[in-house]
Amino acid sequence: METVSTNIVGVSQEQIYKEFLRLGMEQLIAQDLSKRYYHNELTYRDLENLEKQFDIKFDNLVSKIDNVKNELNTKIDNVEKNLQKDISNLDIKIDNVEKNLNLKIDGLDTKIDNVEKNLNAKIDNVEKNLNLKIDNLDTKIDNVEKNLNAKIDNVEKNLMSLSEMLKWVL
């Protein structure tokens, strides 16, 4: 078999071994390959086997990534649906609160209108009572004026009579 020159200056066998382990290789295989790699004893067949092994692992990783992606998409879809339901529920609650507030505001408007009507009615009653009292006072004043005029007329007549009597006497 033909060997491939693979030794890289400054890289230890231990570093190569750890890198193989990190890539998911079994310990025994990683130990053997790291030793042969370090001593430039890897063959093309070893490289092909490595390539196949990593292709399989890569395909497995791609498959796992696709599965995780699908699971995440499903979870995201579920979260989105739940959020849409929550938003819809909040919209309904807001609409209900708004309706209740509108009902309460309408109730307050009705109460204010009733209070205004009652106050207007009371003001109208007070105004009517004042007008009646003013009319009564006007009537009384007119009566007092008539009585005073009658008395003045009477006094004038008496004075005239007295004046005529005095004329006779004098």
* C-alpha pair distances (Å), 153 with each of 24, 150, 160: 140, 5, 10
pLDDT averaged per 10 residues in sequence order, the chain, 170 residues = 48 84 84 77 67 72 89 96 97 97 97 97 97 96 95 92 82
* pLDDT at residue number 116: 97
Alpha-carbon gap, residue 103 to 94, rounded angstroms? 14
Helices (H), 12-43: 13-22, 27-38
Question: Residue 46 in contact with residue 36, Cβ under 8 Å?
Answer: yes
pTM of the entire predicted model: 0.45
Question: Residue 38 in contact with residue 16, Cβ under 8 Å?
Answer: yes
* pLDDT at residue number 10: 64
Phi, psi of 42, rounded to the nearest 5 degrees: -75, 140
H helices then E strands: how many in the chain?
A: 3, 0
